[in-house]
Amino acid sequence: MISMMALDLGDRRVLIREDLNAPITSGRVVSDKRLVAALPTLRAALEQGARVMVLSHLGRPKEGVFDASLSLAPVARRLAEFLEREVPLARDWLDGVSVEPGAIVLCENVRFEVGEKANDERLSRRMAALCDVFVMDAFGTAHRAQASTTGVARFAPVACAGPLLAAELDALGEALRDPRRPLAAIVGGAKVSTKLEVLKSLADQVDELILGGGIANTVIAASGRNVGRSLAEHGLVDFAADLLRGKFGGASIPLPTDVVCAERLAPDARGRLKALEDVGGDEMILDIGPETAARFAERLASAGTIVWNGPLGVFEHPEFAGGTRRIAEAVADSAAFSIAGGGDTLAAIEQFGVGDRISYISTGGGAFLEFLEGRRLPAVAALEARDDGIGRGG
């Protein structure tokens, strides 16, 4: 793929697709993570004197209908604070955007436009006509074949990868394509059904596969243990049994020996530490116990590479946060190359203050999972299809 950093962007119209889909409350951005991640790309283009236009989505509006609650206006204001310059918001940007060299405009929510999700060719061509260079920098949406991610890349005079997208792909490639061994993966979450392909793929690639949450409960049930009223997908017990037996690969899958239970999940719930064999029929497994956490941490300490997606328990509740906290600390303390992604994972990293000791934190959720599954991301494929050498300074 052509890299944005290899191009001369001076006085060129540069359309940059970022993922600025930030949570907004009372008209203010309440989490800056995705905006901060985009800043180096935006600053690099501005410093070259580019005429910068930024595309992003926000939420899931109905196409063709303006919804003030999903306007990017709060994002424009926050970007202006970060960049220390005006960031006007262009509402009718498809009709053309006026922007001076070294200046920036944020285009209104791209999902307001009819045809965005369907990757409509007419819409893609209108976007492409706005620019001399299209920069795909939104890894978080790279798994979606939409007009602003893949369609415009087909028709823009030059299409290239932004620094953030390139960094994500490099980090994931280091973790999975040529990893330092042993390779350990931590996969948590509520449902096996949402991560079937990830589990199959990782079972064949990794040396250690550590499971948490409802996924772990389903595997525990498949091993013949009682999980009581725990969140588990009993319809997928056969799949979980195949996973344990090594049908999909030879990864070691350690099971918990102790767990933290409660009869209900409520703000005033109190956890009870139990051996796995002693879980009662009216109990819910809501966290791994300290013995299990220590065993898992020991395995992570000897890893060469760690991939983390999903918590080990209901970490938002202080009674059930111990397992995820211990694993987060183990990942941070390890000498391994570590990469973490997914919304809950990032929330746990922030909660336990370990972000500065993890090698790479991915901005993607769905794209991160699809990469782990071994899928080719549509936006990346679109850029690779443009690898014809055009646009290098001309």
Say what the pLDDT of residue 391 is: 39
CA–CA distances in Å: residue 221 to residues 1, 196, 203, 290, 376:
45, 16, 19, 21, 33
111 included as an active-site residue: no
Task: Tell me the pLDDT tens digit for each residue of 162-219.
Answer: 999 999 999 999 998 889 999 999 999 888 998 999 999 999 999 999 999 999 999 9
Residue numbers in the chain where pLDDT is lower than 70: 388-394
Among 191, 229, 357, 375, the one annotated catalytic: 191
Among 173, 343, 353, 376, the one annotated catalytic: 343
State the CATH class of domain 181-335. Answer: alpha beta
Among 102, 115, 366, 374, the one annotated catalytic: 366
Say what the pLDDT of residue 290 is: 98
214 included as an active-site residue: no
Say what the pLDDT of residue 392 is: 36
Reply yes or no on domain 4-165+376-384 having CATH 3.20.20.70: no
34 included as an active-site residue: yes
Global pTM exceeds 0.85 = yes
125 included as an active-site residue: no
Bridge partners for 55 per DSSP: 17
Please identify which residue in the block is written with the tokens 């369609």: 151
CA–CA distances in Å: residue 232 to residues 6, 209, 217, 301, 338:
49, 18, 5, 29, 28
Give the start-to-end residue ranges of the domains of the chain: 4-165+376-384, 181-335
Task: Tell me the pLDDT tens digit for each residue of 19-70.
Answer: 999 999 999 999 898 999 999 999 999 999 999 999 999 999 999 999 999 9
> Do the domains spanning 4-165+376-384 and 181-335 agree at the CATH topology level?
yes
Q: Is 129 exposed, middle or buried (0-12, 13-18, 19+ CB in 10 A)?
A: middle
Among 12, 17, 34, 51, the one annotated catalytic: 34
SS3 category, 155: helix
